[in-house]
């Protein structure tokens, strides 16, 4: 369904003098990009309409390398206007003036750093779209004896990798859920001389629920090496040994069952992976606010001294006038710095966006410039079972005094070590939008967890590090349009 590439053509543009020399590059993936071309007679320029699926929104891999004979290779990249042109600072390829002998063109994809027609290093992390796209190494050569009358040079790229798909057909209940899959490639690189080792473990891309895929460098299998590593939420990791044979341009699908003591793997279902179509289709993304009913929130401290109406539950109650706040003893004296908030979403899932609404405080609405870090975890030690409501019963009208009762998190959670946490966004600084505005940050949806963690290493206010009215989490779904 994914990464089914593409016919590549070089389209010619005539210059102002009518001489046909310059080559322009257009590419499309039949799964992801639809291409239509038309000739504008006034300028004799071929125009292209490219509809890019959000699956390829980063454009990191949308670069193609082309070489001709002894000329320096040219890297073509897609611009904001949709046209493919030589990378900034490079020169376009031109048609030869004469053809006394055949001219050979070579092309490769992707033309990213470290990749050439004969050299490729397999990406170890293919868990995100750009990672698995950059692993789809393809090459071709084309020999011509004369300039085509239509000035079009067709190139058919051949895949140099194989695709491995793991279907998790079942998992023993006490193992929990699958959180990650690694698939081992027999080789780690392709060089002009040979395929090169050592073996390389690749973090696989989650295609769908219980379905993972990775691209590997082909080779003859070997016994004894780990082939598939499955990480679960409750039972640690399970390894399946013996790397399997793989041939370039083939797809191998294995059914895997995960037990507490061992795992079983089926013989592969092998299919051709040299091409494919999804004619007439493009994709859109839809961002969905996750249903927060049934979720819970906890943290180190819930400020309720002197009748302050702060509650963790207010962060999920849908009421922008209620709030939660951390210890207000002062930025340098706050008992709960760094501040930790943990949301139990009750299921392992991924998140593509977070929305934060600040507390509505007219006197210092512009002081919510918090520095925040976001993580996910499947480790149950990420949750603290301390009953804040029971503790505060009858204590809200006066100071608490000794707060050491809140030290339990130090031994009962992983908050200090952050063990098992996966960061889903680089540290951000909030813009202090005024309630009821919501400030959004994009998250790495390739990582998943039951617990969503907000960590504030340093607050943005002089009296207390952190306070919010609402926290929203979102998931992005990819939907085809026929």
Domain boundaries, the chain: 7-158, 162-278, 289-481
The DSSP call for residue 88 is T
The percent of residues above 70 in pLDDT, for the chain, comes to 73
Taken in order 371, 376, 379, 383, the sign of the CA dihedral is positive
Residues 83 and 76: their CA atoms lie apart, in Å, by 10
Phi, psi of 193, rounded to the nearest 5 degrees: -90, -35
Tokens at 241, concatenated:
């040994």
CA distance linking residue 66 with residue 23, whole number of Å: 11
Alpha carbons 226 and 415: distance in angstroms, whole number = 32
**Residue 294 burial (C-beta neighbours within 10 Å; 0-12, 13-18, 19+):** exposed
Distance CA 313, CA 318 (A): 10
Give the class (CATH, top level) of 162-278: mainly beta
pLDDT, tens digit (0-9, with 9 covering 90-100), for 102-155:
888 888 888 888 899 999 999 999 988 778 888 989 888 888 888 777 666 677
How do beta strands 282-289 and 263-265 pair? unpaired
Query: At CA 173, angle to CA 172 and CA 176, rounded to 5?
Result: 100
Using the 8-state DSSP alphabet, how is residue 130 labeled? Answer: H
Asked: is 289-481 a CATH 2.60.40.10 domain? The reply is no
For the whole model, what pTM was predicted? 0.52
Q: Checking DSSP bridges between strand 467-481 and strand 282-289, what pairing results, if any?
A: antiparallel
- 52-78, pLDDT tens digit by residue? 222 223 233 367 888 887 778 888 776
Identify which of 439, 428, 425 has the alpha carbon closest to the alpha carbon of residue 358.
439
Q: How many angstroms separate the CA atoms of 50 and 62, rounded? A: 12
> How far apart are alpha carbons 231 and 178 in whole angstroms?
6
The owner of tokens 């813009």 is 431
For residue 318, what are the contacts with CB-CB under 8 A and spacing of at least 6? Answer: 292, 470
Bridge partners for 196 per DSSP: 189
Of the candidates 257, 278, 274, the residue with the CA atom closest to the CA atom of residue 266: 257
DSSP string covering 377-442:
E--GGGS----HHHHHTTTTTS-----GGGGGHHHHSSTTTTTT-EEEEEEEE---PPTT--EEEE
SS (H, E, C) 194-231: CEECCCEEEECEEEECCEEEEEEECECCEEEEEEEEEE
238-244-247 Cα angle (round to 5): 140
Q: List CB contacts of 19: < 8 A, sequence separation 6 or more.
A: none
Calculate the alpha carbon distances from 245 to 217, 218, 220, 242, 360 in Å: 10, 7, 5, 10, 61
**Left (φ > 0), alpha (ψ -120 to 50) or beta: where does 356 sit?**
beta
Walk along the chain (482 residues) and give the pLDDT tens digit of each residue. 334 333 333 333 333 333 333 333 333 332 222 222 222 212 112 222 222 222 223 233 367 888 887 778 888 776 555 555 676 555 667 777 777 888 888 888 888 888 999 999 999 999 887 788 889 898 888 888 887 776 666 777 788 999 999 999 999 988 999 999 999 999 999 988 777 778 999 999 988 888 999 999 999 989 999 999 999 988 889 999 999 999 998 999 999 999 888 889 999 999 888 764 323 233 445 788 999 999 999 998 887 776 778 899 999 999 999 999 887 665 555 567 889 999 999 999 999 899 999 988 766 666 778 889 999 999 999 999 998 888 887 776 566 666 666 788 899 999 999 999 999 999 998 888 888 899 999 898 888 999 999 999 865 555 556 889 999 999 877 554 34
Query: What does the block give as tokens for 335?
Result: 């008992």
HSE-CB at 239 with a 13 A cutoff on CA atoms is 9
Q: What dihedral angle (degrees, nearest 10) is formed by the CA atoms of 47, 53, 56, 59?
A: 30
Nearest alpha carbon to residue 355 among 367, 372, 378: 372
């Amino acid at each position: 369904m994914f990464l089914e590439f593409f016919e590549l053509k070089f389209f010619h543009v005539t210059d102002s003098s009518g001489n046909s020399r310059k080559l322009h590059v257009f590419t499309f993936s039949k799964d992801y990009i639809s291409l239509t071309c038309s000739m504008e007679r006034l300028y004799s320029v071929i125009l292209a309409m490219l509809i890019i699926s959000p699956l390829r929104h980063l454009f990191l891999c949308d670069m193609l390398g082309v070489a001709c004979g002894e000329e320096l290779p040219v890297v073509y990249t897609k611009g904001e206007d949709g046209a493919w042109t030589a990378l900034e600072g490079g020169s376009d390829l031109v048609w030869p003036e004469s053809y006394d002998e055949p001219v050979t063109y070579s092309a490769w994809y992707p033309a990213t750093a470290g990749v050439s027609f004969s050299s490729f290093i397999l990406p170890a992390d293919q868990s995100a779209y750009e990672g698995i796209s950059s692993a789809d190494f393809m090459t071709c050569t084309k020999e011509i004896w004369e300039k085509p009358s239509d000035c079009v040079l067709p190139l058919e790229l051949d895949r140099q990798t194989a695709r491995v798909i793991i279907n998790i057909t079942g998992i023993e209940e006490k193992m929990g859920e699958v959180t990650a899959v690694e698939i081992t490639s027999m080789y780690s690189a392709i060089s002009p001389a040979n395929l090169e080792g050592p073996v390389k473990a690749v973090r696989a891309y989650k295609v769908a629920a219980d379905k993972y895929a990775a691209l590997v460098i082909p080779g003859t299998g070997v016994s004894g090496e780990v082939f598939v590593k499955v990480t679960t939420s409750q039972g640690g990791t399970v390894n399946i040994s013996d790397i399997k044979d793989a041939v370039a341009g083939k797809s191998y699908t294995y059914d895997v069952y995960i037990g507490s003591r061992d795992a079983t793997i089926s013989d592969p279902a092998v299919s051709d992976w040299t091409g494919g179509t999804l004619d007439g289709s493009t994709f859109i993304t839809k961002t969905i606010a996750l249903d927060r009913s049934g979720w819970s929130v906890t943290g180190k401290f819930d400020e309720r001294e002197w009748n302050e109406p702060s509650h963790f539950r207010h962060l999920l109650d849908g009421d922008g006038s209620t709030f939660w706040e951390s210890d207000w003893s002062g930025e340098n004296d706050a008992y709960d710095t760094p501040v930790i908030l943990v949301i139990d979403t009750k299921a392992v899932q991924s998140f593509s966006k977070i929305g934060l609404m600040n507390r509505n405080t007219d006197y210092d609405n512009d002081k919510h410039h918090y520095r925040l870090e976001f993580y996910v975890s499947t480790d149950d030690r990420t949750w603290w079972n301390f009953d804040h409501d029971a503790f505060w019963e009858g204590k809200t009208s006066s100071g608490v005094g000794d707060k050491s009762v809140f030290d339990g998190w130090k031994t009962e959670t992983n908050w200090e070590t952050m063990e098992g946490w996966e960061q889903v966004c680089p540290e951000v600084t909030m813009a202090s939008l005024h309630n009821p505005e919501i400030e959004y940050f994009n998250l790495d949806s390739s990582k998943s967890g039951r617990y969503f963690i907000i960590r504030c290493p340093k607050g943005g206010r002089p009296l207390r590090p952190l306070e919010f009215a609402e926290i929203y989490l979102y998931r992005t779904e990819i939907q085809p349009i026929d």
